[in-house]
Amino acid sequence: ASTLQDLERELKAVRLELERVESEKERFSQDMTEMSKASEETEWERRSLRVELKELKLRESRLLADNNELEEENISLQKQVSVLKSSQVDFETSKHEVRRLQEDMEALNAQLEEYEHLKRIAERQMEEALEALQSEREQKYAVKKELDRRINSDSIHNLSTFAGFAGLKFASKRSADNGSHSF
């Protein structure tokens, strides 16, 4: 029985050692994975830096070419400035002529605006005169209508009075509508 117990203890010790070794193996495996990832990242970063370096060198050569081109353009521009300075007298003369023509045009525009303003005033006055004439016509028509009504009313009244004198009774529907009574 003591051999069995010794074997069980030895088995237990071996199992503990196995667990410890497996745990250590797992930890080494994780460390290896992390180191592999770090190595891949470092390699990727190294490649990126190489690409960036190539791009920077290419950019530098472009900038140098641009700089040379700008220097040539600068020389050309200096020549153009020299030509422009010699043409400046003609330009000033033309500028003076343009200014004079602008002043003439402004004066003509002012006259045109004044004419348009006067035209608007005349049109407004004509509209007001037409409206006044129309109003006067309407008033004359109303006065004539009222005069005709009164003349007709007086004629009927005179006829009624005359008929009343003759002993006849004469009734006028129109007189009744206007509030007159039969005589």
Question: Binning pLDDT at 50, 70 and 90, where does residue 152 land?
Answer: confident
User: Which pLDDT score, from 0 to 100, does residue 89 have?
Assistant: 80
Asked if pLDDT for residue 174 goes beyond 80, the answer is no
Asked if pLDDT for residue 161 goes beyond 80, the answer is no
CB 177 within 8 A of CB 152: no
User: Which pLDDT score, from 0 to 100, does residue 72 have?
Assistant: 96
CB 149 within 8 A of CB 142: no
Distinct helix (H) and strand (E) counts, the chain: 2, 0
User: Which pLDDT score, from 0 to 100, does residue 159 have?
Assistant: 66
**Total number of residues shown for the chain:** 183
Asked if pLDDT for residue 128 goes beyond 80, the answer is yes
Asked if pLDDT for residue 180 goes beyond 90, the answer is no
User: Which pLDDT score, from 0 to 100, does residue 165 have?
Assistant: 62
Q: What is the pTM of this model?
A: 0.32
* CA gap 138, 144 in Å, rounded: 10
User: Which pLDDT score, from 0 to 100, does residue 173 have?
Assistant: 47
CB 69 within 8 A of CB 63: no
State pLDDT tens for residues 51-103.
999 999 999 999 999 999 999 999 999 999 988 888 888 888 888 999 999 99
> Mean pLDDT, to the nearest integer, of 167-177?
47
* CA gap 66, 26 in Å, rounded: 59
Asked if pLDDT for residue 172 goes beyond 50, the answer is no
Asked if pLDDT for residue 139 goes beyond 80, the answer is yes
State pLDDT tens for residues 5-53.
999 999 999 999 999 999 999 999 999 999 999 999 999 999 999 999 9
* CA gap 181, 169 in Å, rounded: 11
